[in-house]
Amino acid sequence: MNNKIVALILVCCAVAATGCMGLAENVLPQQRTTPAGYSTGGNWQGIALEKALDSSPAPVPTMKPSSFVPGSGIETKIIKTAQVTIEVKDVTASADALKALAVQKSGYLSSSNIQKGYNNRLSATVIIRIPQSEFEGVMENVKSVGTVKSVSTQGEDVTEEYVDLVARKTAYQNQLEAYNRIMAKGDKVEDILKIQQQIERVQVELDRIEGRMRYLNNRIDLSTITVNLQEPEPVGGEAGHSFISAINDGIAGFFGMIDAMIVLVLTFLPLILIGAGAYGIYRWKKGKKPVASISVPGQGEIK
């Protein structure tokens, strides 16, 4: 019975290794690692099981950059984004128009933020997500909303990372199948626990890879366009000309000067007091000195 189980284990390991090597022509296996905490058991079945655990989870392939596109069966993966600054007369209406445009093109409004600045001048930041196939057409519609001030588009090629994720996912899936077959034939609690640890490790890696693939697919399938809307500047400057504003600015400057003088006096007040005290002491000492007598011929001493 033990010989049959050992033979089945070795066959499963060979199948897993063959599946990992057959992912792509230029897949390179990483260095094999031995699970921590494993020790050689006292019987032959335990030794064979530990050898299987030591060799089976090893290969996690990495694709060569020079050959991952040909024969991969995966189209080029590009993440498209754009940033546009537009001057419009009505910020609120323009933001609503962009939202309607995104829905019309099978997309959605990701976020919208409208704020009021100085002199009640409105501005907004609108982020829309639209299918990549609609990217160019939607960009033209966005530009037609108002006067374009700036446009920036980016295309990030993530094909290499995506193909590498697919290869790693396939390798881990092959390992998981091999471990499940070994688990089904295991009859010792110790061996089953060791296999279960490896299954959990592989499953965690699979979940991480699949999560990254879902994130990339979302960014690839739906392009992101960030639109900054702003109202035109009023004639005469940001707030226009106003005599009342000029008077208010003058009054504010007057009180600001008074505040500055108060701060200056209070800052140097200790030095002023020390100087005044020193001068007073000097005058006091000078007043206590006796007046020297001066002898003038014919008139006697003059004090």
Do both 148 and 286 map to the same domain?
no
Per-residue pLDDT for 67 more than 90?
A: no
Q: Which residue has the higher pLDDT, 54 or 187?
A: 187
List the single range of 120-124, 142-146, 175-179 with lowest mean pLDDT. 120-124
Per-residue pLDDT for 255 more than 70?
A: yes
Total domains in the chain come to 3
Per DSSP, what are the bridge partners of residue 80? Answer: 155
**Structure confidence at residue 48 as a pLDDT band (50, 70, 90):** very low
**Structure confidence at residue 38 as a pLDDT band (50, 70, 90):** very low
Per-residue pLDDT for 65 more than 70?
A: no
Do both 195 and 59 map to the same domain?
yes
Do both 93 and 122 map to the same domain?
yes
Do both 62 and 83 map to the same domain?
no
Range among 36-40, 74-78, 169-173, 191-195 rated most confident: 169-173
Q: Which residue has the higher pLDDT, 130 or 185?
A: 130
Average pLDDT over residues 91-112: 94
CATH number at residue 124: 3.30.70
Q: Which residue has the higher pLDDT, 197 or 30?
A: 197
Convert the pLDDT of each residue in 194-216 to its tens digit: 889 999 999 999 999 999 999 99
Q: Which residue has the higher pLDDT, 54 or 272?
A: 272
Q: 71 lies in a domain?
A: no
pLDDT of residue 292: 54
Q: 303 lies in a domain?
A: no
Is the dihedral angle over the CA atoms 138, 140, 145, 148 positive or is it negative? positive
Q: Which residue has the higher pLDDT, 173 or 118?
A: 173
Do both 53 and 175 map to the same domain?
yes
pLDDT of residue 278: 83
Q: 236 lies in a domain?
A: no
Q: 43 lies in a domain?
A: yes
Average pLDDT over residues 41-67: 44
Do both 84 and 194 map to the same domain?
no
Do both 40 and 174 map to the same domain?
yes
List the single range of 42-51, 246-255, 257-266 with lowest mean pLDDT. 42-51
Which residues are CB-neighbours of 232 under 8 A, at least 6 positions away?
87, 89, 147
Range among 58-67, 179-188, 200-209 rated most confident: 200-209
pLDDT of residue 215: 95
pLDDT of residue 205: 95
For β-strands 78-87 and 222-230, DSSP reports them as parallel
With the CA atoms of 15, 17, 20 and 25 taken in that order, what torsion angle do they form, in degrees rounded to the nearest 10? Answer: -110
Average pLDDT over residues 267-292: 78
Do both 40 and 57 map to the same domain?
yes
DSSP-derived 3-state class of residue 42? coil
Structural domain for 86, as ranges: 78-157+223-230
Burial 53-84 (b: 16+ CB within 10 A, else e): bebbbbbbbebeeeebeeebeeeebbbbebbb
Per-residue pLDDT for 173 more than 60?
A: yes
What share of the chain in percent tops pLDDT 70? 67
Do both 152 and 288 map to the same domain?
no
- H or E element at residue 151: strand 147-157
Phi, psi of 241 (to 5 degrees): -85, 135
Which residues are CB-neighbours of 96 under 8 A, at least 6 positions away?
none
Per-residue pLDDT for 33 more than 70?
A: no
Where does 132-240 show beta strands of DSSP type E? Answer: 147-157, 222-230
Do both 46 and 61 map to the same domain?
yes
Nearest to 33 by CA among 63, 53, 8: 53
d(CA 176, CA 162): 21
d(CA 38, CA 52): 12
